Amino acid sequence: MTSPPELGALGDQTLASALGWMHAEPGRSWTVSELARRAGASRATLARRFASEVGVAPHEYLTRLRMQEAAHALREGQDGLAAIAGRVGYESEFAFNRAFRREMGVPPGEYRRRAHRLEGASSGTPQGAIPQKR
């Protein structure tokens, strides 16, 4: 079994620091410059190492992290889309909807409906019924 690329990046103190900041505050408007400053590296160094070790650019990783947080909130909570959007860093529900659909393959409302349907379904429900774009 292979581990996610970010686990290997944890051995690099600069990347571990940047990942830690993103995970601590995924809704913050992070820039590569700010993450690099906090991690004690140049912007170019952080961007290059991040892409090399994690496999995506920092902003793409942050988007995926936000969408995972949003998906969890949609499955487990009752907050409205605007509240979830704000919590994961989107100023408008429209921008959140667009990003969620692009990353997860379905709009957030449909994702929530499917998750709740699965929750009430029998244990014979096939895996993968809630799509996640990769």
pLDDT tens, position by position, 62-114: 999 999 999 999 999 889 999 999 999 999 999 999 999 999 999 999 999 99
pLDDT at position 77 is 87
pLDDT at position 119 is 76
pTM for the full predicted model? 0.79
pLDDT at position 130 is 47
pLDDT at position 21 is 95
> 12-68, pLDDT tens digit by residue?
899 999 999 999 999 999 999 999 999 999 999 999 999 999 999 999 999 999 999
pLDDT at position 118 is 83
Instruction: Look over the chain and give the mean of its residue pLDDT values, rounded to a whole number.
Output: 86
125 pLDDT exceeds 60?
Answer: no
pLDDT at position 2 is 37
Residue linked to tokens 């909807």: 97
